[in-house]
Amino acid sequence: MNKVILMGRLTRDPEMRYSQGEQSTAIARFSLAVDRRFKRQGDPDADFFNCTAFGKQAEFAEKYLRQGTKMLVSGRVQNDNYTNKEGQKVYSVQIMVDELEFAESKNASSENNYQPASRPSPSMASGDGFMNIPDGIDEELPFN
């Protein structure tokens, strides 16, 4: 089984592009900073994961996600290994996104000096696998 669940903040706004062909598909790429639970002196405080979303998830990311948004992402890990021009093997991984969910309320994100774009109403999000956190929830979700 190949399944990963990450919670972190976007390090930049999603980059959008569309596939070629008759039925073009939206593709969103973004990076997620995930805090490390246990930190050793001299080690980084967070890990950074490159994520790619397709179709409806990509359109959702383009419309609602901005740098600093705290998100819960589930998907699968995919190797992106290649050999560079110097003949050295380069190892990297990519998170292929299946689901995106907000991990904090609008109030909590504004307390962190982040002003998100308007979020979808529950009727807009139903059936797409997206969770909309209602206004007025000030505490963190129990995903820590």
Provide the 8-state DSSP code for 64: H
User: Distance between CA atoms of 72 and 46, rounded to whole angstroms?
Assistant: 15
User: Distance between CA atoms of 129 and 125, rounded to whole angstroms?
Assistant: 7
And the tokens for 53? Answer: 């979303």
Domain boundaries, the chain: 4-37+45-125
Per-residue pLDDT of 87-119, as tens digits, reads: 999 998 999 999 999 988 766 666 665 544 444
And the tokens for 112? Answer: 């962190």
Per-residue pLDDT of 20-79, as tens digits, reads: 988 899 999 999 999 988 877 878 889 999 999 999 999 999 999 999 999 999 999 999
4-37+45-125 topology per CATH: OB fold (Dihydrolipoamide Acetyltransferase, E2P) (2.40.50)
Q: What DSSP element (H or E) covers 56? A: helix 55-64
Q: Which residues of 90-125 are buried (b: 16+ CB within 10 A; e: fewer)?
A: eeeebbebbebbbbbbbebbeeeebebeebeeeeeb
Phi, psi of 84, rounded to the nearest 5 degrees: -80, 180
- Band (pLDDT 50/70/90 cuts) for residue 80 is confident
User: Distance between CA atoms of 68 and 127, rounded to whole angstroms?
Assistant: 26
User: Distance between CA atoms of 29 and 95, rounded to whole angstroms?
Assistant: 10
pLDDT (0 to 100) of residue 120: 47
pLDDT (0 to 100) of residue 112: 61
- Give the predicted TM-score (pTM) of the model: 0.69
